[in-house]
Amino acid sequence: MAPQLPSNFAVRLALYELDERTCEALRAMGQLAKRVLPSAIDRFIAGATKLPTVGPIYVQHKEEFKRTELAQFQALLAGTFDANYIETCNRTVQVY
């Protein structure tokens, strides 16, 4: 069962100016970003592995972090702010 939208979700979309024009722009950026996103996430994770406190966690869970980050960016850049987007955000929070 897909999560329901929070009662204030429409208000948040308006607050962040996530109208159809903005969502269209996100989708266009997503087309460009999909080519570089995997390597950008790899570089981020490589840097994070050098952090003294959380580095070992990034080393141990590298692939899970990569999948999670990629899914989160894909959901955002799809420009479809619906129950599936919320579910992706919730999964991201659970991983971190």
pLDDT band at residue 1 under the 50/70/90 scheme: low
**Is residue 63, in this structure, part of any structural domain at all?**
yes
- What is the number of structural domains in the chain? 1
**Is residue 41, in this structure, part of any structural domain at all?**
yes
pLDDT band at residue 90 under the 50/70/90 scheme: very high
Q: What is the mean pLDDT of residues 65-85?
A: 94
**Is residue 5, in this structure, part of any structural domain at all?**
no
**Is residue 2, in this structure, part of any structural domain at all?**
no
Amino acid identity of 57? I
pTM, 2 dp: 0.84
| Residue 2: predicted pLDDT | 54
C-alpha separations of 86 from 57, 62, 63, 71, 93 in Å: 25, 23, 22, 12, 11
Owning domain of residue 30: 25-95
